[in-house]
Amino acid sequence: MLRNSWFCLFVLASFAHADDKMFSNPVIPGFAPDPSIERVGDDFYLINSTFEYFPGIPVYHSTDLVNWELISYALNDSGQLNLDTIGSGSGIHASTIRFHDGVFYIVTTNNIDGRLVNFIVTATDPRGPWSEPHVLEGAPGIDPSLLFDDGRVWYVGNHAPPDPAFVGEMEIWLQEVDIERWALTGERYFLWRGCCQGVWAEGPHIYKKDGYYYLLISEGGTAYEHALSVAIATDIRGPYQNNPRNPILSHRQLSYDHPITGVGHADFVELADGRWYAMALGWRLVDGLHGILGRETFLVPLTWETEPYWWKEPKYTWPVVSPETGRIELRFALPFADRAQRALPDVNDEFDSAALGLEWNMRRTHEQPFHRLENGRLMLELGAGSIAEGARYSFLGIRQRGFEYAAETELRFAAAGDNEEAGLTVIQNDRSALVVSLRAGRLSLYHAEDDKRRELASVPYAEESVRLRVEADYLEFRFLFAGPDDDWRVLAEEVDGTVLSPAVINGYNYTGLYIGPYATANGESSETEAEYEYLRYKGTARSRDAWYERQVGAD
């Protein structure tokens, strides 16, 4: 924790002088990595990566850059793509959204356990419907972007060069797209390996401004050393010249326990009045280590500055991110002073609509639906699959949007055998989840870890109806239960949440915590269903910025 006395005093003073002319980061909290943004008139549209989760690529809308509404998904038909048995962290990588001549274009990568498929989907309305994928054959690498320029369409992506000097050296490449045939065409150009020795050079975007082409990339890997760098050219095909002030954004120079770290992978947007902003990802690590929420979306102002050197020609103009401090701060001035940041909404789903709300996701695509809404209840089939790497199983969840919350549901379930269970899970990925489940005659809490389970608590329970409640306090969880008309009883408390941390579980993690209903027959076929009456999720932090105060020791 940061305990420097002068820093704490500064933080406390900044909180004391905060007003409604400021907004707080992140603007899209919880699992929301790799943001890409596009402005169309007075409207802004933003998308994120989704990896193994489905529906894929959420589309958000805003008119003020700080309040975002989820309006659709670009990938909402399981026939559009293959996420069936991919591993944790595979699937839909960084995507780019662009608008041209009345059409929205999203270009993205589906990583099918190492086989990279790059494709484009389109829509005339960002709320959908979105088209079937147009696969671009022969496009290597990840994180593609598009630029529409003077009647031509350019694809920019990354790949491992044929002569890498080390593992992880990447190179940015460019090629024209025939948008009528959905095919790469013409010569391929190799543009840049970045400013930082090309370590995981990725996430490229090209912008055209005042006759110059600016190539923005991410480097250093999406952890503490993440960074943004930029190069310039007079021709889109290069050569590109490095900005001598690179990287233009990074927190790599800050302490590991700085409240916001791993910043990078950004996209720029110009406002109608000529101002510019960047949307970037960042981590909020608990105690400087545990990124349980995954990477999130942060908003940061930027400006453009021309080199001051009297002796140099030409004098280039470069983007300057967060010009006052060079960092992504907790608070910045509102982009539109008359549009304040609203409180984060809670989720209260009574399952009384014709379809699940947009906030719900499943893990992977499924051949057949495993759930339905009926008479105000969510009916969940007990599939044979259980939480395991690359498996498909009956789970529906919503993103954990904060470090402090309470979530509750009521379950009706009668197990037909000892193999059947249903309940609620807090899940990081296939490698780690906390599961509270009702089985024949017992209610249990266990940690699902690498295809195994470790029981943490268990009590006899003979009823077929139970209310379940999870209370989260950063890295500590509390699990409670009750009969339909009974008071809450503790099943387990002070449960260690570090078991859900990417820093602890085996293998790198690109996603964040979800919570939701889970049911399984543990490898056997079953006709049993679990019935859920509702799911309610409520943030319990005393303020939107409580996480920051805790991290700097200002509470």
pLDDT band at 80 (very low <50, low <70, confident <90, very high): confident
**Co-location of 543 and 399 in the same domain:** yes
The full DSSP string for 150-187 is TTEEEEEEEE--SS-SSTTB-EEEEEEEETTTTEEEEE
The residue among 157, 162, 163 whose CA lies nearest residue 217 is 157
Residue 10 has pLDDT above 90, yes or no: no
**Co-location of 203 and 316 in the same domain:** yes
The number of distinct structural domains making up the chain is 2
The residue among 464, 315, 392 whose CA lies nearest residue 52 is 392
Among residues 310, 333, 356, the one where a domain terminates is 333
Per-residue pLDDT at 13: 42
Burial class from Cβ neighbours inside 10 Å (0-12, 13-18, 19+) for residue 542 reads exposed
Burial class from Cβ neighbours inside 10 Å (0-12, 13-18, 19+) for residue 324 reads exposed
**Co-location of 427 and 490 in the same domain:** yes
- CB–CB of 402/417 below 8 Å? no
pLDDT band at 453 (very low <50, low <70, confident <90, very high): very high
Q: Does the residue 342 lie in any domain?
A: no
Say what percent of the chain tops pLDDT 90.
Answer: 90
Q: Does the residue 340 lie in any domain?
A: no
**Co-location of 294 and 437 in the same domain:** no
Alpha carbon 248 to chain centroid, angstroms: 23
Residues 123, 144: Cα–Cα separation, whole Å: 18
Q: Which residues carry out catalysis?
A: 34, 202
Per-residue pLDDT at 9: 35
pLDDT band at 465 (very low <50, low <70, confident <90, very high): very high
Per-residue pLDDT at 554: 64
pLDDT single digits (tens) 297-316: 999 999 999 999 999 999 99
**Co-location of 539 and 435 in the same domain:** yes
Mean pLDDT along residues 420-444? 97
State which residues form the domain around 448.
Answer: 347-551
Which amino acid makes up residue 144? P
Q: Does the residue 399 lie in any domain?
A: yes
Residues 96, 49: Cα–Cα separation, whole Å: 10
Mean pLDDT along residues 189-216? 95
Tell me, what CATH number does 458's domain have?
A: 2.60.120.200
Q: Does the residue 96 lie in any domain?
A: yes
Per-residue pLDDT at 17: 43
Q: Which residues have C-beta within 8 Å of that of residue 167, sequence separation ≥ 6? A: none
**Co-location of 280 and 355 in the same domain:** no
What pTM was estimated for this model as a whole? 0.95
HSE toward the beta carbon, residue 357, CA cutoff 13 A:
16
Q: What is the CA radius of gyration of the chain?
A: 24
The residue among 211, 268, 272 whose CA lies nearest residue 236 is 211
Residue 509 has pLDDT above 60, yes or no: yes
Residues 172, 201: Cα–Cα separation, whole Å: 7
Q: Does the residue 341 lie in any domain?
A: no
Tell me, what CATH number does 328's domain have?
A: 2.115.10.20
Report how far apart, in Å, the C-alpha atoms of 406 and of each of 137, 436, 519 are: 46, 15, 21
List the structure tokens of 363. Answer: 């893990």
β-pair partners for 96: 107
Among residues 311, 333, 355, the one where a domain terminates is 333
H/E segment holding residue 520:
strand 514-520
**Mean pLDDT in the chain?**
94
Alpha carbon 234 to chain centroid, angstroms: 34
Q: Does the residue 339 lie in any domain?
A: no
Per-residue pLDDT at 127: 98
Per-residue pLDDT at 508: 65
**Co-location of 466 and 526 in the same domain:** yes
List the structure tokens of 340. Answer: 């304040």
Among residues 275, 309, 333, the one where a domain terminates is 333
Range of lowest pLDDT (193-202, 471-480, 487-496, 501-510): 501-510
Alpha carbon 411 to chain centroid, angstroms: 29
**Co-location of 310 and 426 in the same domain:** no
**Co-location of 365 and 329 in the same domain:** no
Q: Does the residue 338 lie in any domain?
A: no
Residue 130 has pLDDT above 70, yes or no: yes
**Co-location of 419 and 491 in the same domain:** yes
**Co-location of 318 and 357 in the same domain:** no
Per-residue pLDDT at 484: 86
**Co-location of 384 and 299 in the same domain:** no
Q: Does the residue 187 lie in any domain?
A: yes
- CB–CB of 531/411 below 8 Å? yes
Residue 90 has pLDDT above 90, yes or no: yes
List the structure tokens of 187. Answer: 């010569």
Residue 7 has pLDDT above 80, yes or no: no
Residue 8 has pLDDT above 60, yes or no: no
Say what percent of the chain tops pLDDT 70.
Answer: 96
